[in-house]
Every structure is written in C-alpha cells, then in structure tokens.
Amino acid sequence: MSLLSKVVDVVTGGLADRAYQVVKDYFPPDMSEAQRANVQLALQNLELEKKRQAELARQAAEKQLTERIKELEGSAKDLLRLPILGPLMLFLRGCQRPVWGFATLYLDWMWFSAWTLDEQQQTALITINVLVLGFLFGERALANAAPRILHFMKARKRG
C-alpha cells in the first residue's frame, strides 16, 4: 500500500460513523428510525464519494509523478536515437537481471558445493545475494530465499 493510499484512509476512514455520532446528538427527538437510517446512509454515501475523489487524486498524482520522471530521465525509446550505442545499451539493460542472477547462482553453487570460505568471504557472498535478490528481483524473492540461505549456512557449519 502506497503512502498516498494510507493518507487517504486516514483522512476519510470512518468519516460517516464519526459524523453520525456528532449529528445523532442533535437529531430531533421525534425523528423516526427510518429517517435516522436515511441520514446515516447519506453520510456513508458522502464518505464513499470522498474516498473516491481522494483515490482519483492519488492516481492523478501518481501518474503525474511517473510522467515527470519520464520527462526528466527519458525513456528506453530515447536510447534508440543513438545509432550503435542505443540498441547496445538496451540489450545490456535487458541482460542485466539474467547475468546477475546466473552469476549469483554460480557463486552460491560453488559456495555450497566446492569452496571452503572464511567468515569474511561468506559475509561478502551473503551481501551479494541480498543485493541481487533484493534490488533486481524484489522483496518477495529475498523473503523466499533468506530462510534457505540460513538453513544451508547452518548445515555447512555443522558438517
């Protein structure tokens, strides 16, 4: 959930209930339950409309930020303007994840199967794994791989 979504929830969350509690004290005593229910329904509709407006504003702000970044940094299409370097840079940019991924896979394979590393080298490999898994493949990949890495390290120390 993005920061803007959290702000929207804080600003609009429970607005109808809070307004109903305030207004309820000022209802005429002879007001029927149906009329009270209609007032509460109107307040809930107001809350939903405010949430919808806030969500539209959040989406517009996100889109504007994306466009601003694109304007300042350019896009991949801009690289194609360079005759030889442009396509080469796009190719290298596209190859980055597989190259780093397979290089890290190779390092891990050698670490667990053949190499005997000291504590500093193991720390360096753990750092490489965290960087590659975290930055190139996202938080989910790191969260999925971390328990296995720790399990292999403990098994290696025992054996």
Token digits for 52? 């919808």
DSSP 84: T
Q: For residues 157 and 63, what is the distance between their CA atoms, to the nearest angstrom?
A: 50
Residue 12 structure tokens: 């609009």
User: What is the pLDDT at residue 22?
Assistant: 63
For 35-77, the DSSP string reads HHHHHHHHHHHHHHHHHHHHHHHHHHHHHHHHHHHHHHH--HH
Taking the chain, what is the end-to-end CA distance rounded to the nearest angstrom? Answer: 43
State the 10-residue block means of pLDDT for the chain, 159 residues long: 54 61 67 78 82 87 86 73 84 85 90 88 89 78 79 78
Domain boundaries, the chain: 14-81
Written as six digits, the tokens of 146 are 């971390």
- Contact present, 107 and 133 (Cβ < 8 Å): no
Q: Which residue has the tokens 């975290």?
A: 134
> Rounded to whole angstroms, how far apart are CA atoms 125 and 131?
10
For residues 57 and 4, give the distance between their C-alpha atoms in angstroms, rounded to a whole number.
9
